[in-house]
Amino acid sequence: MGGAILGLPMAERADDRDGLRLDRLHVPLGPALPDWPAGLVVRTELQGDVVQRASVEALVPPRSSRPAFWSEPWLRSAAGEPVTVGEAARRRCAAHLDSVGRFLAVAGWRDPAAVARRARDQVLSGASVADLRSGLRPLTRRVRRSWTLRWLTSGVGVLSSAQAQRYGVTGPALLADGDAYDRLLVWLEEIDRAVDTCDDRSPLASHALNGPRGRIATDAPASRALVDVLPALLEGTEFACARLVVASLDPDLDELAPQHARGGHAHG
């Protein structure tokens, strides 16, 4: 088989992992999908429902006049600007709530995903620590106690700490040392810790430059490693789980855009 009909590629055949001859389909994901990192393109080669090969492309603007929103406090601190612990904590908490909301939406948990996004907005709008704690407690308790969610996401996209280190992955994905569910739990733990310091007015230590995705470095942003490791995690995964793998890493492609000036902007 092969060729094209009406401009659409036909399936080819190749040996799958069990030695069978199955249709080989090329299916792209992105760059614009609901609950998908904007600008990310994942090109998959499927046999049956299994991803045999995957490649990733990050579509980023050639230059940005604004720092990546989720990394902004740490980038400002690295540039010598005064930043408080509370500013960084709010940004970390909101970033992880944004990631949790995306992950839960992809997993089919629409209502809890909406709760996570409302909480994200409250964190960014300056809600008190007391209000944030009372609002977040039911969400994090529900997510942690759900056996259905655990069953759905356990064993998906396993990334050991050793493999993460080989790819230069830092932050939650390295700390999780496991699968998509483990990465979700690390987000929840970091949310809990960040909420407690959202009103801390002490200065952020210049050496504490670890943002929501990992180590802050303009020459090697944390999300670059998350993008680079994706093909290895996707190959051999059922296609239905591919979006869960991506959501559990949630690379921020804004981090990959070259910077030439500083400032802030709202993250959509």
Q: What is the largest CA-CA distance in the chain?
A: 66
**In this model, does residue 45 exceed pLDDT 50?**
yes
Q: Give bridge partners of residue 57 from the DSSP assignment.
A: 41
Identify residue 142 by its one-letter amino acid code: R
pLDDT of residue 258: 75
pLDDT (0 to 100) of residue 10 = 38
Task: Please compute the mean of the pLDDT values over residues 149-158 and round it to a whole number.
Answer: 96
CA Rg value for the chain: 20
The reply to whether omega before 31 is within 30° of 0 (cis) is yes
pLDDT at 19: 54
**What helix, strand, coil percent values describe the chain, rounded to 5?**
50, 15, 35
Q: pLDDT digit string (tens) for 229-258?
A: 999 999 999 999 999 999 999 999 999 987
| pLDDT tens-digit series, residues 55-105 | 999 998 766 567 899 999 999 998 899 999 999 999 999 999 999 999 999
Q: Cβ distance 37 to 250 under 8 Å?
A: yes
Q: Give the tens place of pLDDT for each residue, 162-184.
A: 999 999 999 999 999 999 999 99
* Pair of tokens at residue 72: 């902004």
Q: Give yes or no for a contact between 77 and 206, defined as CB atoms under 8 angstroms apart.
A: yes
